[in-house]
Structure 1
Amino acid sequence: MAMLDIKSLMHSRVDEMFATISGQASDEDCQFALKRYLMSNYSDLASLSFWIGCDAKTFQDEAVPAADIVDSAYYALNREKEYDGSSNVASSQQDHGTYNARQQFGTTVEGARL
């Protein structure tokens, strides 16, 4: 890949990221777009470094750890959603609680089968 191709690819990746996060994108979409951009950018930098004579492996090795920064940046936001009080409390208690209807009441409750 020539240097002008690498430059064009890097610009198109920035445009792609902004197209993904513009408008009504969810936080998950933004997180994914940013993570993808960072990993792609490090890959493009590795290609560029090959052409200018430095070690491309350094950039390749740092691509995944750089993308992990995005997860760290979204950590607080993801935790807040996980423990958001507006979620359906009954379903979260049923999914994650120790309440077991079959164990307590058997398979029939007021004429209905469980």
Structure 2
Amino acid sequence: MKGLNFVSLRYQAGELALPLAVELVRKTVAVYQGQTRKTSYQSPFTKNEYLQQMLRVAQPQVAYRCLLADSWYASAENMTLVRALGHHFVFALESSRTVALSERARMQG
């Protein structure tokens, strides 16, 4: 039996911790794997898309300063959204990731 996949958003302030959103990842889209000749299922949305939607919904309802997330969500798109919403973020990064600390550094690769 396979486990459940879900994405959750939790607010924490000191000892107070409240769940803001929980989304069960439903794998409803059939995908045929030619090499194995088997059909697998995937979600119509990525976990990053679920997170982004949760952040947009929470934005007008919850005053938070910083988003803390694991490396799964450490993408430029997510970081850009969090900054556009007016917040800071802390993401774990895989050791294989490269980071540009300025536009000039990004242009230099």
TM-score, normalised to structure 2, is 0.29
Higher helix share: 1
Choose 1 or 2 for highest CA Rg.
1
Instruction: Considering Cα pairs closer than 8 Å and 6+ residues apart, tell me whether 1 or 2 has the greater RCO.
Output: 1
The two structures have a TM-score, normalised by structure 1, of: 0.28
